[in-house]
Amino acid sequence: MNELEVNGQIVRVTNPEKIMWPELGIRKIDYIAKMAELAPYIIPHARDRLLTAIRYPDGVDGKSFFQKNTPGYAPEWIETAEWNENNYTLLNSLSTLVWLCNQAVLEFHTSFNRIQDENKPTDLVFDLDPSPGQQFDHAAEAALLIHETLSGLNINSWVKTSGATGLQIYIPVGGRYDYDTARKINEFFGRYFAQKYPEKITLERMVKKRGTKLYFDYLQMWNGKTITMVYSPRAVPGGNVSMPVTWEEIEKGFSPEDFNLLNAKKRLEEKGDLFAPLLLPENHQNLDFLLKYVN
């Protein structure tokens, strides 16, 4: 067992040689090091959000389980918050991130709101989920159509890969709306796009009924639900990372596999945090002009 001193806290590292991503040859100690490098980008977005961790004790090829409750053996310096009878971990520090990585947390999913505003999401999020048989290009095509419409309404939006096959479009609103109103706005957009592009986009939740249409998931954004955190790895063989991208990159085309644990740091050093604007109050948007259409 190794011990690391991280920001004044001692984190015990167990089984440092255990392979987490066989295809990439990433051991647990490698994983910890790579996530520590990403910490300055991860923590500002994760701060004060309820964390649902997905743990893979034997790496991506092994079994996994969700963890909402912070385990009783967690160090006392781990920050937590209670909500709905669960004691959630708050990913507010590098030491907490290192501890979670040692617990073989390979995916980080966070709430749409921060604990200070438990009923108000910080962003409206459109979750674009390709149906079976569709490719990532279908999500990219739909995202560009949606972006065109939003731009026409003078609504600024940012986009990231899910790390899997989808894309997620963010509109920062800074907690201006409660979940009920935010969902109504999302549903309004979802129905509009499904009607405007009926051969491409659907609101059908049942996978077998979607055919080859892309699913516009407006229901995921809700109190108690989570979304893959920006810069979270995914438990897939290639070690994909949920990565912000520019609209120009979507137009040119890329694969979600282009962004992974081996190259994420280099990209961030070159591009910076493309989601940093979401944290700035001057980018929080007023969508009150839409409310007459949704109530």
What would the pLDDT profile of 64-74 be if each residue is shown by its tens digit? 999 999 999 99
Average pLDDT score over the chain = 95
Q: Are 101 and 55 in contact (CB under 8 A)?
A: no
Question: Quick check: 35 pLDDT over 70?
Answer: yes
pLDDT-based confidence at 1, cuts 50/70/90? Answer: low
CA 173/CA 3 separation, integer angstroms:
41
pLDDT of residue 132: 85
Distance of CA 77 to the CA centre of its chain: 25
Question: Quick check: 107 pLDDT over 90?
Answer: yes
Mean pLDDT of 36-52: 98
Q: Tokens for 3, please give them.
A: 């011990």
pLDDT of residue 152: 97
The number of beta carbons lying within 10 Å of the beta carbon of residue 185 is 20
pLDDT of residue 211: 87
Q: How far apart are the first and last CA of the chain?
A: 58
Share of the chain above pLDDT 70, in %: 100
Mean pLDDT of 194-222: 92
135-168: b (≥16 Cβ within 10 Å) or e: ebebbbbbbeebbeebeeeebebbbbbbbebbbb
Where exactly does CATH 3.90.920.10 map onto the chain?
A: 1-111, 112-295
Question: Quick check: 114 pLDDT over 90?
Answer: yes
Mean pLDDT of 152-164: 96
The number of beta carbons lying within 10 Å of the beta carbon of residue 192 is 15
Question: Quick check: 295 pLDDT over 80?
Answer: no
Mean pLDDT of 40-57: 98
Q: Are 294 and 185 in contact (CB under 8 A)?
A: yes
- Sign of the CA dihedral 221, 225, 231, 236? negative
pLDDT of residue 207: 86
pLDDT of residue 168: 97
Question: Quick check: 192 pLDDT over 70?
Answer: yes
Q: Does domain 112-295 have CATH number 3.90.920.10?
A: yes
CA 22/CA 142 separation, integer angstroms:
34
The secondary structure of residue 229, as a DSSP letter, is: P
CA 269/CA 276 separation, integer angstroms:
14
Question: Quick check: 2 pLDDT over 90?
Answer: no
Write down the pTM of the prediction.
Answer: 0.96
- Sign of the CA dihedral 111, 116, 117, 123? negative
Share of the chain above pLDDT 90, in %: 89
Q: Which CATH number fits domain 1-111: 3.90.920.10, 3.40.50.12500, 3.30.70.260, 3.20.20.10?
A: 3.90.920.10
Mean pLDDT of 208-236: 94
